[in-house]
């Protein structure tokens, strides 16, 4: 079988730019075993830069026409000549303008195969307000929460009265724990709100599970998704924040598989698939959970449709522990993208009574 040309989109215009650089490098290194990789860096201004060798900067400015007849060609910005013609696009973009359905929408308009979820599922999973509403509709258990579009003293008092303390304050549309604060006293709400609103026009406030274990499961598939063995995060600090996830000095432990009773592990896997279907995800995702220690109740925290792909990321590690090595996992993701694209291509776009 001829080697496919896979364009990897990495970097991006978000607060998770640096994380995407590391994820992208890891993905491209493993993909190169079976496919021809086309590195496309999206810089902080949103420019698409076609690179010969992947790196954090540099490259030739290119663009993608949202036109199916162009067959996904990357064209030079200077003269519109075709610079590359990928067979598949693989977005490894975390956060806004990449994981939120914007890039997926462009790829859908261009009618090219794309690894991962489409525009609607990506947007719904990225926006914690939409995600939580879909979880509620699908009877996915989660912690009590409130969504705020602004704040004043009355709002602050109401949130504390309704949710209690401690609680978490998060931007509605961001990941990697960027802009997230754990609030243990009412006086801390103001700074937490300021930080979250600096990243988004709306924020989510969640009741904390005071005694919890943090669990994760990886999901893979299109219409028949499967869940990996569960893993457990043991943070090296108050909660699993940005530095705990990515700092070289982090002492956070990853337990794979998580030490769980068989029935709890099965519940985590079952709820992971339910959350995946609730947002109509496809391809892959990572689902995060909180296990309430006193009650044993499993609560879904969130779903990530483009989870971290660094060397220490849980998504590939969980599948490796489930019997699917990293290179085979990436090949499977490309195959799933081609299968979903073929399915969409067979759909009618005209009306004939």
Contact 87, 5 (CB under 8 A): yes
d(CA 182, CA 239): 8
Active site residue 15: no
Among 117, 302, 313, 326, which one carries the catalytic annotation?
302
Active site residue 308: yes
Among 304, 313, 326, 340, which one carries the catalytic annotation?
304
Active site residue 173: no
Is the dihedral angle over the CA atoms 137, 226, 342, 20 positive or is it negative? Answer: positive
Tokens 């700092």 found at:
247
Active site residue 288: yes
Among 89, 145, 246, 326, which one carries the catalytic annotation?
246
Active site residue 201: no
> Nearest 5°: phi and psi at 255?
-100, 115
**Cβ burial, residue 349 (10 Å; 0-12/13-18/19+):** exposed
Contact 193, 181 (CB under 8 A): no
Contact 284, 344 (CB under 8 A): no
Active site residue 108: no
Task: State the DSSP H helix or E strand holding residue 184, giving kind and residue range, or none if neither.
Answer: none
Angle at which helices 102-110 and 119-126 cross, to 10°: 180
Contact 92, 24 (CB under 8 A): yes
Among 129, 232, 241, 288, which one carries the catalytic annotation?
288
Among 26, 176, 181, 313, which one carries the catalytic annotation?
176
Among 16, 87, 200, 206, which one carries the catalytic annotation?
16
Among 23, 286, 301, 313, which one carries the catalytic annotation?
286
d(CA 184, CA 205): 13
Active site residue 304: yes
Largest CA distance in the chain: 64
* Straight-line distance from the first to the last Cα atom of the chain, in angstroms, rounded to the nearest whole number: 41
- Kindly give, in sequence order, each residue whose CB lies less than 8 Å from that of residue 177, ignoring residues fewer than 6 positions away: 239, 240, 241, 242, 244, 245
Contact 207, 184 (CB under 8 A): no
- Kindly give, in sequence order, each residue whose CB lies less than 8 Å from that of residue 346, ignoring residues fewer than 6 positions away: none
Among 24, 101, 179, 308, which one carries the catalytic annotation?
308
Strand partners, 82: 75
Active site residue 301: no
What stretches of 234-278 show up as alpha helix (H) in DSSP?
242-246, 262-278
User: Which residues does the annotation mark as catalytic?
Assistant: 16, 176, 246, 286, 288, 302, 304, 308
């Amino acid at each position: 079988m001829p080697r496919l040309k896979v364009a990897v989109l990495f970097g991006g215009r978000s607060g998770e730019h640096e994380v995407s650089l590391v994820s992208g490098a890891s993905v491209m290194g493993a993909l190169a075993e079976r496919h021809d990789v086309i590195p496309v860096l999206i810089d902080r201004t949103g420019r698409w830069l076609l690179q010969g060798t992947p790196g954090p900067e540099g490259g030739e400015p290119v663009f993608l026409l949202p036109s199916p007849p162009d067959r996904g060609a990357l064209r030079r910005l200077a003269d519109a000549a075709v610079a590359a013609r990928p067979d598949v696009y693989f977005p490894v973009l975390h956060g806004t303008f990449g994981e939120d359905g914007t890039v997926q929408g462009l790829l859908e308009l261009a009618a090219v195969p794309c690894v991962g979820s489409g525009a609607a599922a990506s947007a719904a999973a990225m926006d914690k307000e939409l995600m939580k509403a879909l979880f509620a509709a699908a009877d996915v258990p989660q912690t009590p929460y409130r969504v705020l579009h602004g704040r004043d003293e009355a709002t602050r008092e109401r949130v504390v009265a309704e949710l209690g303390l401690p609680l978490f304050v998060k931007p509605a549309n961001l990941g990697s724990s960027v802009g997230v604060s754990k609030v243990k006293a009412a006086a801390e709400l103001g700074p937490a709100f300021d930080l979250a609103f600096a990243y988004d026009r709306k924020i989510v406030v969640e009741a904390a599970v005071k005694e919890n274990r943090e669990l994760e499961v990886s999901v893979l598939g299109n219409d028949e998704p499967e869940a990996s063995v569960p893993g457990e995060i043991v943070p090296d600090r108050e909660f699993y924040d940005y530095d705990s996830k990515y700092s070289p000095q982090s002492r956070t432990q990853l337990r794979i598989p998580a030490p769980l009773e068989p029935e709890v592990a099965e519940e985590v896997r079952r709820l992971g698939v339910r959350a995946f279907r609730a947002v109509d995800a496809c391809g892959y995702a990572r689902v995060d959970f909180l296990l309430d220690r006193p009650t044993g109740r499993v609560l879904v925290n969130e779903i990530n449709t483009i989870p971290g792909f660094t060397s220490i990321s849980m998504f590939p590690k969980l599948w490796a522990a489930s019997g699917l090595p990293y290179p085979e996992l990436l090949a499977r993701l490309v195959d799933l993208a081609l299968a979903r694209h073929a399915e969409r291509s067979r759909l009618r776009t005209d009306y004939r009574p």
